[in-house]
Amino acid sequence: MRSMVVIIALHILLAGPFFAPMSRLLIKNAKALVGTHPAGQGRVPGRSMANLPQIADGWLTTENGRITGLGSMSNFPGIADWTDLTVIDATGRYVLPGWCDPHTHSIFAAPRDGEFVDRIKGLSYQEIAARGGGILNSAGMLRSMSEDDLFEQAKARLEGMMQQGTVAVEIKSGYGLTLGSELKMLRVAARLKKEMPLQIRTTLLAAHALPAEFKEDRAAYLRLICEELIPQVAREGLAEFVDVFCETNYFTVSEMEQVLASGAEHGLRGKVHVNQFTSIGGVQAAVEHGALSVDHLEVMEPADIDALVGSGTIPTLLPSCSFFLRIPYGPARELMDKDLPLALATDHNPGSTPSGNMNFVLSLACIQLRMLPEEAIQAMTLNAAAAMTVEQELGSLTVGKRASLLITKEVPSLAYLPYAFGQDHLDTVLIDGKVIRSGTAIA
Ligand code: NIG
Ligand code: FE
């Protein structure tokens, strides 16, 4: 009994503020508060993305997990009641909204580092898939894994992502490819939603690859998705969105349309994989079906970009995937020039992007997509939040929103974050006002 008390006391001492709920918090002297959008501001159109609102020399308060006030230190109104208040002096540090990651496959059974070596030796992603590797390889491994093991692994991945500043994540199924295993993945996601502090949205991606059992009868697999899986997932509230890998050798445009139509009937909006390797009309069809986002877009014809203009569909680029597979980068500047509200995500998955690090996405966006640091930050915060329908809650430093935010180390400029790539510039991460990562700003 006595040793238990000592262990608990030690735990509290070492873990510090993570376990001690901070109901009230004041951050003062921030070098700048970044992304201080007015209440009600939704997705930011491409040509405005460079105008990232900031307040230099700022203060910000939180209470019960929400942002309660912010402004410039020159107008700091003071605090009436200083009891039970944690004060963070953020001198030299930026305060940003936490990263939202609107496209991941973070539930999976095992890494595919063998395929990585095969690609170094010269095989392409498509050649590996044609040999039974790729998505089908992941599905084989996931089908035999228990729900508990999948949960523990995914939880550890999400914990790592939170340490790197991610406060909201979309997670797809798509490595089950049977009724039971797709549901198993979504139940794991539901448990993560309940037990993890970050915001999670889930997507049914049964149309990720054609399982071998249906090789001779594609239509039967489509029926399974549209007539059984989608209705059951909707009934049990297991997903908000539906996804399809619309690509040569995966699913056709018309198959994607069937899935999107069935999803719409059951209240699941589309968030689809299109134009990763080939342009086959998926963007146009997704727009016609009112998809929330079209993701990947590494191979875009002018007509694909034009189809997005005036639509409600958010183009989402995944530069870490381009980096890892050595495929083209999406046309970020062209999309922004058309005033489209570009979003960025990691695409975290074992095959094409074994990284859930949004800070690396920020560097790639600036270095490879030629986005300005301000544009990239908008794409990873408010526009990313909109691409997973959490923009009312997250994505900007706005009174009333969740106090899920990042405090950087002392850095010379905002541009230094993507510039000094591969280095860890975060000091503190808060989710709903609670310290998830405690750095020197708090100590
Ligand atoms: O977004 N392109 C389709 N799906 C994933 C990769 C899946 C895998 O290789 O396991 C992606 O890149
Ligand atoms: Fe993906």
**Which pLDDT score, from 0 to 100, does residue 23 have?**
86
Pocket test for ligand 1, best of 243, 299, 352 (most atoms within 8 A of CB): 352
Q: What is the torsion angle, in degrees rounded to the nearest 10, for the CA atoms of residue 182, residue 242, residue 398 and residue 435?
A: 10
Rounded distance from Cα 209 to ligand 2 centre (Å): 12
Rounded distance from Cα 31 to ligand 1 centre (Å): 39
Residue nearest ligand 1's atom 8 by CA: 351
Distances (CA, A) of 6 to 10, 15, 20, 224, 243: 6, 14, 17, 55, 49
**Which pLDDT score, from 0 to 100, does residue 6 have?**
36
- Distance, in Å, from the CA atom of 201 to the CA atom of 204, rounded to the nearest integer, reads 11
Rounded distance from Cα 216 to ligand 2 centre (Å): 26
Domains located in the chain, CATH noted: 14-98+397-437 (2.30.40.10), 99-386 (3.20.20.140)
Please name which ligand lies nearest the alpha carbon of 350. 1
Closest Cα partner for 335 from 282, 371, 385?
371
Task: Give yes or no for residue 138 CB within 6 A of ligand 1.
Answer: yes
Rounded distance from Cα 273 to ligand 2 centre (Å): 6
Q: Where are the beta strands (DSSP E) in 208-342?
A: 241-246, 269-274, 293-296, 314-317
Task: Give yes or no for residue 382 CB within 6 A of ligand 1.
Answer: no
pTM above 0.85, yes or no: yes
CB 48, CB 382: distance < 8 Å = no
- Distance, in Å, from the CA atom of 86 to the CA atom of 294, rounded to the nearest integer, reads 42
Ligand 1 atom at minimum distance from 276 CA:
2
- Distance, in Å, from the CA atom of 178 to the CA atom of 172, rounded to the nearest integer, reads 14
Rounded distance from Cα 439 to ligand 2 centre (Å): 32
Query: What would the two tokens of residue 277 be?
Result: 């390797």
Rounded distance from Cα 170 to ligand 2 centre (Å): 11
Task: Give yes or no for residue 350 CB within 6 A of ligand 1.
Answer: yes
Task: Give yes or no for residue 428 CB within 6 A of ligand 1.
Answer: no
**Which pLDDT score, from 0 to 100, does residue 443 have?**
64
Please name which ligand lies nearest the alpha carbon of 276. 1
- Neighbour-count burial of 97, counting CB atoms closer than 10 A to its CB (0-12 exposed, 13-18 middle, 19+ buried): buried
Helices 147-163 and 179-195: angle between axes, nearest 10 degrees? 50
Residues 6+ apart with CB under 8 A from 306: 338
Q: Where are the beta strands (DSSP E) in 275-323?
A: 293-296, 314-317
Task: Give yes or no for residue 321 CB within 6 A of ligand 1.
Answer: yes
Residue 235: count other Cβ atoms within 10 Å of its Cβ. Answer: 9
Q: Is the dihedral of CA 174, 179, 181, 185 positive or negative?
A: positive
Q: How far is CA 198 from the centre of its chain?
A: 11
Residues 6+ apart with CB under 8 A from 213: none
pLDDT tens track, the chain, 443 positions: 344 333 333 333 344 444 445 689 999 999 999 999 999 999 999 999 999 999 999 999 999 999 999 999 999 999 888 889 999 999 999 999 999 999 999 999 999 999 999 999 999 999 999 988 999 999 999 999 999 999 999 999 999 999 999 999 999 999 999 999 999 999 999 999 999 999 999 999 999 999 999 999 999 999 999 999 999 999 999 999 999 999 999 999 999 999 999 999 999 999 999 999 999 999 999 999 999 999 999 999 999 999 999 999 999 999 999 999 999 999 999 999 999 999 999 999 999 999 999 999 999 999 999 999 999 999 999 999 999 999 999 999 999 999 999 999 999 999 999 999 999 999 999 999 999 999 888 86
Rounded distance from Cα 344 to ligand 2 centre (Å): 12
Q: What are phi and psi of 92, to 5 degrees?
A: 80, 0
Task: Give yes or no for residue 361 CB within 6 A of ligand 1.
Answer: no
Please name which ligand lies nearest the alpha carbon of 209. 1
